[in-house]
Chain A
């Protein structure tokens, strides 16, 4: 017995690793290690250098992703590291989105940290760690690998949420996020265990093959259904779908504003891409079981998110609820994708991915403005703080207006392209009711963006506290606004690329 074990161990061969194909992860890892190790061994760097390292790392990873993107055309989609990671356009699109988000958000974080006098390498290291977790999640082809990515992402986010030393709400939010997030991870892991019980594997493709066979399904039906349900609960918490959303407003409000931007972008992209991949790859044979659940979650999320957003008085809470409503929109795309057999079903996934990219840019831009307005102490985030911004800082207010109009889905902004894509995918599979519900939710949510615009343009300043914009935050906002308008007017690029990002 013992001998056999030893023999097995000694003949163990690691999987062949195609290093270049995982280079985005390696680049992010290198950047994170460099910041943590070198950063802690050297005296305080000059202002902006930590952020610059983070931005350069993210851009490097994004460029590598771009190179790999064009390479897939020659080598068909495949799996890496012994089937642990998937290598396809879907994963690369999400990876690219994450890298762009990290680069943009790092600029905002720089502004925040220097303003608060807390500049250091740790926050950037954690951001890059979160990005690694996110990239692993979007490429994971195995539920356990997915869980590793999820935990890497989540743990980094718990710490980042609590990272403000001067604001007590930050620590409170971090603890809240940690406890509830731990619950969700447990749900997720239990779901993985049950699915493993039902199928005998954690690999997504193998699982799909097993479930497609009659035998496994009839004998393990209970395990399978419970597993799907628990998995869905875990994901629903991570992407904050109603009724698993209650943590979102508190955590979004409590976290340092640039970190909130990161949660709204990197966190959403990673969890949504993983959700889509797991359900579309491993569980297509059980679509009739989970599609109704997605439909109900989408409706609830759209309506509750929009309605509750309207009654808030704190801009960060408003945007938290609006992010819930946006999650509902993305879910409409997944619902459309779940109409397997319909020739247009693939539009659902590509429109959801396009939405995630566009929304990531929007949410970082929007929170960057909130962060700038919040000022020293990161506290002025009520609607009153935005009063008279149009008079104090007309250009900043104009940028915010563009971002808000885009979130509302007004034409000639990227938000309209995103919404149109989702509506198009829903209509093409004849989910008319869901499409109409999504649009009505968008109208309700529009009221919230109008409220912020009214504060900025049509109210007199509540005080004469000056609003100062640093170069890095200004650059992040300018880039976000430019992308928003560019995609809005010339959407062909993102549409054609996202059409490739399917499973």
Chain B
């Protein structure tokens, strides 16, 4: 069961270290002198690589088949309010933590911010600590702290290193997310207070509240809605998505990769962990609305992506569509669908992260993102085009690549409980092929114009960076079993928890 029956307080507090190492890295980087650029880079590299290595080590040590929280670490923080530093990882958060751990060093090594390296790296590491904390927190208050603190580094990354309309985009991102969180904060406090009847003393502990407390039908629904608003903004779910195209388009490449790779997943992850787990009955009640919004998002994102003239904006809208599939899987509420949804969170992080990386490389070379100004690149840079092709096919969901596994599981798992929504959502799969292939055709096929004739081929550094992504794409597509084996037990436990609440 979910209740941490096996409170394996490991001798080494690995989860705490996963948060603290990047945090200390950020502090160290900001303390080092700007004149020692190499030291700054080294410090950032060491702390992010250490975090990545620790997350992989945790993956290796994670017992396959375990459904509860592992590596739990719990210390009292604000005892007056019943708040504790409670971290834990299960099948649902496991791969998000690993993705975060691996993606950050890749971004830090592979993408050059061009100016102010020191502050850029400090913000990046602070961001990593915040994201890690969000995925690991098992305390409502602690989760909120991390969820909210993430805004600050991301705001500065977009605002400081982004493109033309960066200040506008950064401000919009900050305010949208904060407005959503406003509801969640009230929801969190109300949840803890109302649960006090069942838990005895005031506590913000997620596991304790979820296992012990029951909420009156109406109250539970209100609380669920309060949490959902925050997550719907973060995902983003139609119609709260309008910050995303701006933020993605204006963010620097590194920011976009992180935003698509892990930040958006904080929303879908929150829906599972804090929506479905805390308020199972309300989640069932809200199912039709959320499924409908998810399907609208899938279609709307796809159609909007088709219309885009800006390549980066196109990828941003494709994110709206892809995240719709994850939400669809989450609220179809079958083991298969949710497992597919969790798998898709990772897949989208890898493939869309890689797509943003590629778009960033195109911009570096051509200083434009307009599809109409590109063309014929395949002729001059075939390897680059090859990488783009593989990543794009993964995003479309070609069998044999990772995107297929997740999307297929979501659709097949949702079919029994949400048949008509699935029927409509399937159109989204076809549209995805349409807009991505069409974009590929316009950018890479044809005769290169004079500007594109000198398009440089991929460099070794870029190639190595992309190879990591491609390896993950192919591996998860061909042999997804190790991943599914670790995700499924926790999802099953969650479904049982939902069934038990009926």
Query: For the complex, is A410 an interface residue (Cβ under 8 Å from B)?
Result: yes
Q: CB-CB contacts of B172-186 with A at 8 A, as 1s and 0s?
A: 001100110011011
Beta-carbon contact of B193 and A428 below 8 Å: yes
User: In the complex, how many angstroms separate the beta carbon of B184 from the nearest chain A beta carbon?
Assistant: 9
With a cutoff of 8 Å between Cβ atoms, the chain B residues found around residue A144 in the complex are none
Supposing A405-B152, A440-B179, A457-B159 touch, asked if A499 and B80 sit within 8 A by C-beta, the answer is: yes
Quick check: which of B142-150, B351-359, B465-473 contacts chain A, the rest being far away?
A: B142-150
B297-329 at interface with A (beta carbon < 8 Å): none
User: In the complex, how many angstroms separate the beta carbon of A413 from the nearest chain B beta carbon?
Assistant: 10
Query: For the complex, is A483 an interface residue (Cβ under 8 Å from B)?
Result: no
Query: How far is B193's CA from A118's CA once the two chains are assembled, in angstroms?
Result: 54
Beta-carbon contact of A439 and B193 below 8 Å: no
Query: How far is B451's CA from A191's CA once the two chains are assembled, in angstroms?
Result: 80
Query: For the complex, is A427 an interface residue (Cβ under 8 Å from B)?
Result: yes
With a cutoff of 8 Å between Cβ atoms, the chain B residues found around residue A439 in the complex are 182-183, 185-186
With a cutoff of 8 Å between Cβ atoms, the chain A residues found around residue B81 in the complex are 424, 495
With a cutoff of 8 Å between Cβ atoms, the chain A residues found around residue B151 in the complex are 410
Beta-carbon contact of A442 and B182 below 8 Å: yes
Beta-carbon contact of B80 and A492 below 8 Å: yes
Beta-carbon contact of A420 and B185 below 8 Å: yes
With a cutoff of 8 Å between Cβ atoms, the chain A residues found around residue B190 in the complex are 427, 432
Beta-carbon contact of B171 and A495 below 8 Å: no
Query: For the complex, is A302 an interface residue (Cβ under 8 Å from B)?
Result: no
Interface of chain B: mostly helix, strand, loop or mixed:
helix
Beta-carbon contact of A412 and B80 below 8 Å: no
With a cutoff of 8 Å between Cβ atoms, the chain A residues found around residue B182 in the complex are 436, 439-440, 442-443
Query: How far is B184's CA from A440's CA once the two chains are assembled, in angstroms?
Result: 11
Beta-carbon contact of A423 and B189 below 8 Å: yes
With a cutoff of 8 Å between Cβ atoms, the chain A residues found around residue B400 in the complex are none
Beta-carbon contact of B79 and A410 below 8 Å: no
Beta-carbon contact of B148 and A411 below 8 Å: yes
Beta-carbon contact of B148 and A454 below 8 Å: no
Beta-carbon contact of A410 and B186 below 8 Å: no
User: In the complex, how many angstroms separate the beta carbon of A424 from the nearest chain B beta carbon?
Assistant: 5
Query: How far is B79's CA from A432's CA once the two chains are assembled, in angstroms?
Result: 24
Supposing A420-B189, A427-B189 touch, asked if A436 and B174 sit within 8 A by C-beta, the answer is: no
Query: For the complex, is B259 an interface residue (Cβ under 8 Å from A)?
Result: no
With a cutoff of 8 Å between Cβ atoms, the chain B residues found around residue A405 in the complex are 152
Query: How far is B159's CA from A229's CA once the two chains are assembled, in angstroms?
Result: 48
With a cutoff of 8 Å between Cβ atoms, the chain B residues found around residue A491 in the complex are 78
With a cutoff of 8 Å between Cβ atoms, the chain A residues found around residue B189 in the complex are 420, 423-424, 427-428, 435
Query: How far is B183's CA from A442's CA once the two chains are assembled, in angstroms?
Result: 11
B73-131 at interface with A (beta carbon < 8 Å): 78-81
Query: For the complex, is A244 an interface residue (Cβ under 8 Å from B)?
Result: no
Beta-carbon contact of B167 and A454 below 8 Å: yes
A337-389 at interface with B (beta carbon < 8 Å): 344
Query: For the complex, is A147 an interface residue (Cβ under 8 Å from B)?
Result: no
Query: How far is B171's CA from A410's CA once the two chains are assembled, in angstroms?
Result: 15
Q: CB-CB contacts of A433-477 with B at 8 A, as 1s and 0s?
A: 001100110110011001000100110000000000000000000
Supposing A428-B193, A458-B159 touch, asked if A496 and B183 sit within 8 A by C-beta, the answer is: no
Beta-carbon contact of A410 and B152 below 8 Å: yes
Supposing A424-B81, A436-B186, A491-B78 touch, asked if A412 and B145 sit within 8 A by C-beta, the answer is: yes
With a cutoff of 8 Å between Cβ atoms, the chain B residues found around residue A495 in the complex are 78, 80-81
With a cutoff of 8 Å between Cβ atoms, the chain A residues found around residue B185 in the complex are 420, 423, 439
Q: CB-CB contacts of A188-220 with B at 8 A, as 1s and 0s?
A: 000000000000000000000000000000000
Q: CB-CB contacts of B137-171 with A at 8 A, as 1s and 0s?
A: 00001001110110110011001100000110001
Beta-carbon contact of A450 and B80 below 8 Å: no
Partner of A458, one of B78, B79, B167: B167
With a cutoff of 8 Å between Cβ atoms, the chain B residues found around residue A446 in the complex are 174-175, 178
Beta-carbon contact of B186 and A423 below 8 Å: yes
Query: How far is B185's CA from A432's CA once the two chains are assembled, in angstroms?
Result: 11
Query: How far is B172's CA from A446's CA once the two chains are assembled, in angstroms?
Result: 11
Query: How far is B148's CA from A211's CA once the two chains are assembled, in angstroms?
Result: 47
Interface pairs (21), CB distance under 8 Å: A408-B178, A410-B151, A411-B144, A411-B146, A411-B148, A411-B149, A412-B149, A420-B189, A423-B189, A424-B189, A427-B186, A436-B182, A440-B182, A446-B174, A454-B167, A457-B156, A458-B159, A458-B160, A458-B167, A492-B80, A496-B80
**Contacts A408-B178, A423-B186 known; 8 new A-B pairs at CB < 8 A:** A405-B152, A410-B151, A411-B144, A439-B183, A440-B179, A450-B174, A457-B160, A495-B80
